[in-house]
């Protein structure tokens, strides 16, 4: 059986679906569904195999058609380097197979993959064969398509962004340039039988009037440099190696053709990587647009979970950060029934998770947002208001400060004097709102429909946490959960995070950190996700 945890063998294998650790992110499917509908994109059809390009690594470079097929297929067979965010789109009930290949010989044999594609399609399943880059650019997509058509299986090819253009763009190296290169050649670093010396017209490549882009050429670098120079390419011609292009871990090493092997060896260059030879590389870092992003190369840990974490992580990545998502807490229902809402003046929702719990509570009673008729709805902050809006509930009151105190100020400013109030919040949450409104004469019911529990930390997550430039806390419960997880590893929270700058979303979260012996390096103002991002930029840029 093959999955992510087990080593691959060599040759033929019995191929079984992977164990499924990841689940789709909340909200992702709905947004994709709307986009697919607006673009008139159909879903994966039974009995059809789709050879789909996953792009060079950045999930943002995948086509909408590809994402739609992945999200609707019965079975997905993927390569090793496909972005996890794309695999997270796979339906929980769908089967997921890892049929990737790596350069040291551990792989699933191509004939086994071909046979599996044919069998699954003939069973009437919709099948996506998800391939890094573009299926028809050094991806053996042509071979797989020929096998499928010969077996009488319907197939479709969905083009993807190949790394020869995607990774170069991310590195600020134009494949062509009006003054420097009017042509580009894509060349595989492997020849016949995986030998770099064979199957190459080195004389033609050496005299090619433009940019040379070599795929899968890390091991072949000495041969590539030697043969190109021997056939007339200048030893001083600019050259570069782009490792893990378009990803958070992208690294660009620049040198000359003659120095390529030595510089690569000294830099510890590893696959996957592209090798670029040509005058366009000589533009240097002048076009390195990624370096201008305010958080470029900074390592940031996000301790939120679910859709909120995905949105925050996406914003940080767009600013150049290397983001590790570490969901510190998980939300579980308490089993408490949503109280009757008839005659309620005000419903206060304390967090995005509380918004989810409110919607679930209404559904459990066979109700929808009409049950809120006659009640004003207050959200503690814009993040909570956005979460409510996903369920068709528009908050009447959203305070400028995303804390309980801010909500009380907003209630006063609006001149509200509610008589019957329902507060939807996590079990064990702050009693300030309920206590204050009760003291003012209101009848307050606290609906603790959900509670949070700390998520355990893996050793890998612990290492990511301690290696980060900053860790972002969006709630006091997240801070406490991280501290609990650190203690489970035998680490003192204050000592473990002594070299990591902590950023709190607001004063309540900052107070929770202080109580743990951790002094926040910054506190967001305003107390919103946008404020959290702004505080991180101010701290790290």
C-alpha 198/C-alpha 194 separation (Å) is: 8
What is the CB neighbour count within 10 angstroms for residue 21?
8
Q: Is the peptide bond before 11 cis (omega within 30 degrees of 0)?
A: no
Q: Are strands 184-188 and 211-215 parallel, antiparallel or unpaired?
A: parallel
Q: Could you tell me which of 424, 427, 406, 348 has the C-alpha nearest to residue 531?
A: 406
C-alpha 326/C-alpha 504 separation (Å) is: 15
Q: Is the peptide bond before 537 cis (omega within 30 degrees of 0)?
A: no
Percentage helix, strand, coil, to 5, in the chain?
A: 35, 20, 45
Burial group, residue 104, by CB count within 10 angstroms (0-12, 13-18, 19+): exposed
Q: Could you tell me which of 354, 342, 364 has the C-alpha nearest to residue 447?
A: 354
Q: Could you tell me which of 91, 139, 99 has the C-alpha nearest to residue 4?
A: 99
Reply yes or no on whether 101 is catalytic: yes
Q: Is the peptide bond before 25 cis (omega within 30 degrees of 0)?
A: no
**At 254, which helix (H) or strand (E)?**
strand 251-256
Contact 161, 56 (CB under 8 A): yes
**Which one is catalytic: 74, 88, 101, 194?**
101
Positions marked catalytic: 79, 101
């Amino acid at each position: 059986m093959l999955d992510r945890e087990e080593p691959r063998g060599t040759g033929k294998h019995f191929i079984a679906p992977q164990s499924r650790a990841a689940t789709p992110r909340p909200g992702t499917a709905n947004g994709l569904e709307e986009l697919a509908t607006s673009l008139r994109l159909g879903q994966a059809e039974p009995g059809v195999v789709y050879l789909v390009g996953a792009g060079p690594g950045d999930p943002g470079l995948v086509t909408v058609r590809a994402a739609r097929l992945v999200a609707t297929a019965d079975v997905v067979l993927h390569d090793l380097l496909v972005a996890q965010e794309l695999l997270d789109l796979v339906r929980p009930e769908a089967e997921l197979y890892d049929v990737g290949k790596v350069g040291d010989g551990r792989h699933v044999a191509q004939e086994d993959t071909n046979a599996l594609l044919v069998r699954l399609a003939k069973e009437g399943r919709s099948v996506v064969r998800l391939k890094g880059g573009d299926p028809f650019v050094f991806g053996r997509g042509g071979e797989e398509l020929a096998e499928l058509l010969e077996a009488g299986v319907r197939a479709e090819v969905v083009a993807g962004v190949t790394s020869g253009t995607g990774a170069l763009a991310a590195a600020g190296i134009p494949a062509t340039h009006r003054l420097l290169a009017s042509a580009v050649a894509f060349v595989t670093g492997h020849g016949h039988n995986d030998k770099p010396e064979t199957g190459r017209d080195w004389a033609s490549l050496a005299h090619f009037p433009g940019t040379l882009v070599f795929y899968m050429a890390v091991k072949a670098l000495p041969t590539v440099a030697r043969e190109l120079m021997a056939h007339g390419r200048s030893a001083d011609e600019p050259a570069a190696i782009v490792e893990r292009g378009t990803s958070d871990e992208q690294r660009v090493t620049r040198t000359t053709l003659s120095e390529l092997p030595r510089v690569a060896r000294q830099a510890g260059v590893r696959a996957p990587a592209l090798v670029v030879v040509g005058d366009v590389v000589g533009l240097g870092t002048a076009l390195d647009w990624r370096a201008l992003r305010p958080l470029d190369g900074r390592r940031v840990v996000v301790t939120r979970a679910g859709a909120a974490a995905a949105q925050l992580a996406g914003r940080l990545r767009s600013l150049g950060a290397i983001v590790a998502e570490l969901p510190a807490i998980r939300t579980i229902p308490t089993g408490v029934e949503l109280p009757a809402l008839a005659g309620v003046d005000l419903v206060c929702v304390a967090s995005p998770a509380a918004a989810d719990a409110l919607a679930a509570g209404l559904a459990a009673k066979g109700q929808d947002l009409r049950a809120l008729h006659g009640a004003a709805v207050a959200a503690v902050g814009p993040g909570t208001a956005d979460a409510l809006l996903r369920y068709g509930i528009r908050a009447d009151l959203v305070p400028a400060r995303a804390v309980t105190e801010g909500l009380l100020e907003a209630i006063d400013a609006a001149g509200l004097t509610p008589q019957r109030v329902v507060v939807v919040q996590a079990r064990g949450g702050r009693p300030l709102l309920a206590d204050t409104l009760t003291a003012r004469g209101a009848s307050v019911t606290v609906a603790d429909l959900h509670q949070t529990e700390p998520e355990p930390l893996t050793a890998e997550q612990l290492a990511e946490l301690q290696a980060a430039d900053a860790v972002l806390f969006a709630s006091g419960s997240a801070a406490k959960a991280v501290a609990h997880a650190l203690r489970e590893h035998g680490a003192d929270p204050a000592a473990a995070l002594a070299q990591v700058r902590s950023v709190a979303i607001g004063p309540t979260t900052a107070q929770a950190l202080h109580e743990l012996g951790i002094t926040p390096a910054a506190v967001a103002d305003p107390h919103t996700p946008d404020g959290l991002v702004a505080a991180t930029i101010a701290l790290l840029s």
